[in-house]
Amino acid sequence: MTLPTLLVLDADPPPRLGRLTGRVRVEHADASTLAGRLPSADVLLVWDFTSHAVREAWPGEGPRPRWVHTASAGVDHLLCPELAASDTVVTNARGVFDQPIAEYVAALVLAFAKDLPRTLELQRERTWRHRESRRLAGTRACVVGSGPIGRAIARTLDALGVTTALVGRAARDGVHGPEDLDRLLARADWVVAAAPLTDGTRGMFDARRFAVMQPSAYFVNVGRGQLVVEEALVRALRERVIAGAALDVFASEPLPGDSPLWEVPGLVVSPHMSGDTVGWRDELGAQFVELFELWEAGRPLVNVVDKQRGYVPGH
C-alpha cells in the first residue's frame, strides 16, 4: 500500500505526529524548498504560520496537495487567487486559541481599568502616588468579529460585568451588522478587534473610526495587524483622541526596532502571543492528527475555510 505524503512547512519546534507513524510519509520543507516539493504532496501542514511561502509557491507548475491545514486561526498568510480557485480543501486551527485570547483581552482591559501600566512605572521610579481607578462592571465593550474568538471574548467580558456588543459580517441573533458599528463604537469604553483579515476588514480602524470613539475609550487588537491603519492609531494616541490601546498583532512582524509604535504614549505592545499558552503547540499537533484521521477515513473535515470569504463560515 502506498502511503500518502504529508509535507510540513517547518517551524521550530516541529509538530508531534507520533500517532501517524507508519500511516503517512512525512517530508519537510522551508520557504526555499516548498515550491519544488508541493507537487508530490497529498497533504500540506503549514506549521510555520508566520510564513508567506505557500502564497508564493502555490502558483507554480504541477499537482497540488488535496488538503492544506494551517496551525493558525488566520489564513490570509497562505491564500492566493490560485489556491482560492482550486478544489484543495483548506482547514485552520479554529478552537485552539479562543479562550486564551479571551483571557488575554480581559487581562488588558483590567490592566487599563486599574491603571496597572502606570503603577508599574511609578514602582520603578520609587514614587508613591495615590490614584483612582475605573470600575469595570457597568462599562461597555464593542467586539468586532463574531467568530469563536470574538464570542469567547464577549463571554469573558460579560462575566466581569461588562455589557458587550458583538459585530459581525451580517446582523443575526445576538450579533450586530456593520451598519451598527459606528454607533456602538461611539458608546464603547473598550473596543476589541478580533475579526479575520478580508477585503472588507482591511484598514477598517482608521482615523475616522478612532475619531468616532470616546476620548476615554481603549482599543485592543488581537485579530490581524492589517485591520488597523497604524499611522492613524499613532496620531490618535499622541493627540489623545482615545485614552490608550494594546496591539498584539502588527502589519509587519516582528515589529521593527525603529517602529514608532514602541514609544507611543498609552500603547501596550506584545509580540503576537495572546493565544499562546503553555502546551499550545501540542494542542495544535493533536488537532491536526485528529483532522488527518478524518481525512484518512474519507470522512468530512471540520474547520473548513471558505476560501472566498477567508474564514470558516457559520458564525
User: Which residue in 179, 253, 290, 296 is the catalytic one?
Assistant: 253
52 annotated active-site: no
224 annotated active-site: yes
Q: How far is CA 213 from the centre of its chain?
A: 23
User: Which residue in 25, 118, 272, 315 is the catalytic one?
Assistant: 272
Q: Locate cell 482550486: which residue?
A: 86
- The burial class, CB within 10 Å (0-12 / 13-18 / 19+), for 2 is exposed
Q: Which residues are CB-contacts of 28 (< 8 A; sequence separation ≥ 6)?
A: 7, 8, 10, 14
Q: Using an 8 Å Cβ cutoff, are 284 and 94 in contact?
A: no
77 annotated active-site: no
Q: Locate cell 492566493: which residue?
A: 80
- Beta-strand runs (E) in 195-306: 218-221, 244-247, 267-269
Q: Contacts for 61-64 with beta carbons within 8 Å, 24 or more apart?
A: 62/38, 63/38, 63/39, 64/38, 64/39, 64/88
Calpha distance 115→190 (Å, rounded):
14
**Which of these, 173, 130, 134, 124, lies nearest to 151 by C-alpha position?**
173
How far, CA to CA in Å, does 276 sit from each of 38, 96, 104, 107, 281?
Answer: 29, 9, 10, 14, 8
User: Which residue in 69, 169, 176, 224 is the catalytic one?
Assistant: 224
- The length of the chain in residues reads 315
Calpha distance 91→307 (Å, rounded):
10
Calpha distance 210→237 (Å, rounded):
9
Q: Which residues are CB-contacts of 69 (< 8 A; sequence separation ≥ 6)?
A: 43, 44, 45, 46, 90, 91, 92, 288, 291
* Residues classed as catalytic: 224, 253, 272
